[in-house]
Structure 1
Amino acid sequence: MPTMLIIDDDSELCELLEAYLTPEGFKVTFRQDGEKGMQQALSGKHDIVILDIMLPKSNGFEILSHIRRHSAIPVIMLTARGDEVDRIVGLEMGADDYLPKPFNPRELVARVRAVLRRVNREKKLEVQNPPPSIEIGDITLNRATRIAFKCGEPMPLTSVEFDLLGILMEQAGRVVMKEKLVKSVLDRDYSPFDRSIDVHISNLRKKIGHVTGAHERIKTIRSTGYLYVAT
């Protein structure tokens, strides 16, 4: 049974989600205090965290930042509807996904299951048959250890960024459609209004460097997808 931690000060929402999610096969714990929720998230007792941005004392961004310094546990942010800035900032700080309020509990379940499927696939790859490293120029990606290196130095990539880099490097020199990236990495259908994958690509570019020599590493193919330049 997957264990979920909800950090949200809305007690009515927490109780509603617990009532809905328990029959769906989740063991739910909720914390309305941000500090206590942060400590609980780092306890190792949960599979995924649902984190609201608007919290008293510590806001969701501060909590996410602290979690990411110590743990790779999947985090889905809850944001105010229409506040695109909050969503982008959350993704840039390492959130795996976001969901605007108010939301349908069914969509939350779908997002959670998609993130957990991806995490479980990663664990199986590590245990069963770790593929070899991929090396292009000064970037090396080791799927066995799930660590990427630039000039021999490890890069602090999130799980989503690592998977994106892996797909793009495997297909170096060829355009990878946005639809494929969203389905493979976020495990959901692509929507032209969802900018999540674009934000993850932007974060990845910052970490690996925009250019190598005279070439742009990851080219945007307008309205289509992205291309990792084979050098």
Structure 2
Amino acid sequence: MTAPSILLVEDDPSLRVLTMRALQQHGYHVRAAETGAEMWVALDNAPADLIVLDIMLPGTSGIELLRRLRRDSDVPVIFISARVSEPDRVIGLELGADDYLPKPFGTRELIARIGAVLRRHSGEDRGTEERVNEAHFDGWTLSFARRELRSPSGGIVDLTSAEFDLLSVFLHEPQRVIGRERLIELSRSRLGNSSDRSVDVLVSRLRRKLSRGDKDAPIVTVRGVGYLFSEGVTRG
């Protein structure tokens, strides 16, 4: 099998070299870029299976680079940053980042998160039942194998990895109230701490994507507790 290709976008020379070596030692094919301009050149030369993207870059920030990237690409992205504020995590999730790792971090943790994101993105990190089954609710169809959501009209709805994982949790426990901490525990994405707004942001995004005309999405807020998926779900 071809080694996954990782594009590391980091302007700190020592951290860039250290991280590249660690990833290469774990079997990844690694390319590096120091700026956003170099990132675009690298992607033009060859696609990447995953991008490790620093937020604080010279010139164009990692936030803006991800915003532009998401216009036409769903390549997995892990943000790294010395800024660990809640707004950065929320913005990253809103733009479709797959994970967020604050600096300083250990290379073992980064490698573990890269592996987890790649498995989620490829659908390999699912049980046998999920690989062969679909979930159906109110005319919608979620394919666990293809990680694909299809609307009642037949159109495919784009979901980030975090959105897909969160919807999967709801569909496995429909018509039951799920607390915010439990949502984080069950989800395969790293949604952040239950005390921050990461889960609320993802729920809000799912609601928008599941809304049709004047019909609201079937995700109900249970004040002070968590959320409930109000539709019945069938699998098969």
TM-score range, shorter chain: 0.7 to 0.9
**What residue number does 1:230 align with?**
231
SS of residue matched to 1:56 = coil
* AA matched with 1:217: P
How far has the Cα of 1:42 moved from its partner?
6.2
Change (3 A) 1:41 1:176: farther
Query: Residue 149 of structure 2: which of 140, 147, 162 is its match?
Result: 147
Whether the 8 Å contact between 1:141 and 1:147 is mirrored in structure 2 is yes
Q: Distance in 1 between matches of 2:66 and 2:80?
A: 12
The root-mean-square deviation of aligned C-alpha atoms, in Å, is: 3.3
How far has the Cα of 1:148 moved from its partner?
3.2
Residues 163-172 or 201-210, more deviating: 201-210
How far has the Cα of 1:167 moved from its partner?
2.7
For structure 1, which runs of at least 5 residues remain unmatched after alignment?
none
| Corresponding position: 1:65 with 2:76 | no
Residues 191-200 or 87-96, more deviating: 191-200
**What residue number does 2:123 align with?**
121
* AA matched with 1:94: G
Q: Distance in 2 between matches of 1:10 and 1:105?
A: 15
How far has the Cα of 1:107 moved from its partner?
2.1
CA offsets 1:18-52 (integer angstroms, 9 cap, x no match): 12222233222110120221343466542211011
CA offsets 1:136-185 (integer angstroms, 9 cap, x no match): 2x644344551332655543321321232133133210134545543553
Q: Distance in 1 between matches of 2:78 and 2:15?
A: 16
Q: Distance in 1 between matches of 2:195 and 2:108?
A: 20
Q: Distance in 1 between matches of 2:48 and 2:213?
A: 39
TM-score, normalization by structure 1: 0.79
Whether the 8 Å contact between 1:7 and 1:34 is mirrored in structure 2 is yes
TM-score, normalization by structure 2: 0.77
Whether the 8 Å contact between 1:183 and 1:190 is mirrored in structure 2 is no
- Equivalenced residues, count: 228
Residues 168-177 or 117-126, more deviating: 117-126
Same amino acid, percent of matched pairs: 38
CA offsets 1:51-106 (integer angstroms, 9 cap, x no match): 11122232212211222222221101113333221221011000001111222222
For structure 2, which runs of at least 5 residues remain unmatched after alignment?
none
Change (3 A) 1:222 1:2: farther
Whether the 8 Å contact between 1:155 and 1:207 is mirrored in structure 2 is yes
Change (3 A) 1:58 1:81: closer
Q: Distance in 2 between matches of 1:27 and 1:180?
A: 36
Q: Distance in 2 between matches of 1:222 and 1:107?
A: 35
* AA matched with 2:120: R
